[in-house]
Structure 1
Amino acid sequence: MRIIIIGCGDAGISAAFSALRENPKAEILVIEKKGYFYPKCPLPFVLEGDVKIEDIVTPLSKLFANSGINYETDEVVGVDTENKVVQTKNNRFTYDCLIIATGSKAVIPPIKGVNLEGVYTLKTLEDTKKIMQRMEKSKEAVIIGGGFIGCETAASLTNKNISTTIVELLPNLLSPQFDANFSRIVENKLNENGVRMITGKSVDEIIGKDEVEAVRVGDEIIACSLVIMSVGVRPDVEFLKTIEVGKFGIKVDEKLRTSAKGVYACGDCIRIRFMVTNEPQQSGLGTVAERAGHVAGLNAAGGDATFYHTLNSMITKIFDLEIGVTGMNETMAKERGYKVVSGIAKGLSKPKYYPGGKELITKLIYHANIHKLLGAEIAGYEGVDGYLNLASMAIQKGSIMDDMLRFRYCYAPPICSAPNPMIPATENAYRKLRRRR
């Protein structure tokens, strides 16, 4: 049995090793146009120097050494699903099962001047290297887009003493993932560190002769020698002609099978569903890509696994602030017609009497009628990931207010506070419900 995997990102690697574990006798071939693997999530932090490029890059020869997995450094230009053939620039390969894990490409906004020298996206290792070279002679930068990558990049550039402006079309940064009150926590942190933010407006023009010299936002001209565009991604699926592709990517079922027999897909290139509402969407999350790769690889090799889609659990660090979200925020829930009640708890990561405790704010969003947990937003300076993962599991399990109030947790003063912030946040929501009656 020959399994071919197109792409060697988080999803492709996960698929390859999952297939190998499920069927050690299978012939597994990975086709990747680059001769190396690197994770995408660290790229904004590479700019600052916290992470070195050489520490995140692994040659495929080393990655697959002694594993039994074969690889080809080549670019796929077409797939014949009827005859089960993958056509590359330099060769053609037959397969029994095919896994498409080609990921996504950066969206390039239609702005005049977008092709000037000094204007980049931050999606690939090559982008990162170009930006780092440009940073050496840049004193001012403009970031188009105030999402996770835009905010992370702004922090990195600021820490390298580059005066940075974020221009975001929506009213708040990190929208629509966070409610406005949590977006403001990030905006305040960026402002404290000297990052300028322009929201509710777009960059109308990038100005320069050969190299970028400024951008125009409405009537304002902002001088800069570096522009980074971070306005989203789109599935990298242009070479597919006989596989059904929709608005958000390749259409797959719960086994990650595509419309073509024997063909699976995983990672940023597929359409997935939001677990709370079952709405279709695209996901650019590494965690989702890794899990999807695991399921696709196992199933292609003869196993039977189900992909349970996503809660959009996201977390980042902006300067020293940790902030994350899972499930639906309050705004999103109300827009979809849910009757909701939210509870907020503010406290410290350790007891007041214990040194080193840091601010922590927790917001839980509940269905007002059935008391089911729909989402959580958490911000603080340590421990945010643990509380966020707890909320994610609670949502997946369909937990209600009573479950959270009965939750039994661990406690030690040097590590965490008591009660667990999930409990006072739930109590706050419960009190609001009682007052409504």
Structure 2
Amino acid sequence: MHDWHSWAAVAVFAGSYALIISERIHRVAAALGGAGLMLLVGATDDTSAFYSVDSGIDWNVVFLLMGMMMIVGVLRRTGLFEYLAIWSAKRARGRPFRVMVMLVVITAVASALLDNVTTVLLVAPVTLLICDRLALPVAPFLIVEVFAANIGGLATLVGDPPNVIIGSRAGLTFNDFLVHLAPLAAVLVLVLIALARVLFGRELTHDADLTAAVMAMDERAAVRDPRMLAQGLAVLALVVAAFALHPVLHLAPSVVALLGAGLLVAITTVDTGEVLAEVEWPTLAFFAGLFVMIGGLTGTGVIAQVSDALASAVGDREAGGSMLVLGASGVLSGVVDNIPYVATMAPVTADLVRHLGGGSGDAMWWALAAGAGLGGNATAIGASANVVVLGIAERAGRPISFWQFTRYGLVVTAATLGVSALYLWLRYFAFT
């Protein structure tokens, strides 16, 4: 890097990244401040930042998230997720481990269709209620649900924000994620259930009297608006179907999500302002700032130089390169939030895939997605869902410490990354 703009871009990005990690200031302020500095030092300009496909804000990502947040905002008001959680507890006959398994499955499936942060926001309060009724420790349930949310989010394009970034950068569709990563996610849910039995089994004791109280709960009372629930489920089904039919409809996921959100707002009685209030605008602003910062690194050639160095290290060893990306992503995503990590690595991975020719079904992309999604389970700050659940537990008077979460997270992450490495090797390299 001989151009001073390159060094300036690296300095701005590193400084902003350090602030995001340290949380000394809000990550949105760090990202937007970094984006402003990138423009100020000339690492990028307004045309590149706002209109360039390669080095600007990825509006497909922003509007896909906004549309899905609006749909979830309507569903939140119906009581759907509370109904599912209570229903699962009753079907498990109040048995603590059976309850945990049911909540894990519901959380994983919901995270695949929606997103992991929204899912834990909806499921965690009901989990607190059930644990209170059964006099069970809250921490094991909430921790395992976070793991399930991050694993379930791996399965689809819309399940985890890093997947949206990867899909947009690599041109991967909703169906691509279903075919390549949903089978892995299903296997990992089973692995998680087995690990939960080992890690938490002794803490899950059964009380017959308290079980009877849970069995008396009426899950139907949780549904506050049956008409809106039916409308919301119908629209969600249409949206998911349109995602799956992308090869036929040729509609971008962002367009589908916005159409679904608009249709749902139009046909329900919900107030438009209330739905828009459900949108996590700080998250969208964070994405915008992050994309501008990455664009500065791209425009000054920094990303290209990193890509060349990695390509030289990997050589023609696609299998070894995929394992390297999987392992490195798992480690780094446990230390920093996986969203900025994937936003940084996506253009690097794109160059590596082009260099290697993508001969094994774009295995490098699946390694990046799996490593980033699963690595987030390693520590209490590794993924947004982790931080959200720790906040919910603290507000409920059941705080979960950083190390209480992390000592279990490291075990789960190591096991799931090991299974993922075996899956990638068997599916893309062992028999080619």
TM-score clears 0.5: no
TM-score, normalization: structure 1?
0.28
**Looking at both structures, which has the greater relative contact order when contacts are Cα pairs under 8 Å and sequence separation is at least 6?**
2
Normalized per residue, the structure richer in strand is: 1
Higher helix share: 2
TM-score by length of 2: 0.28
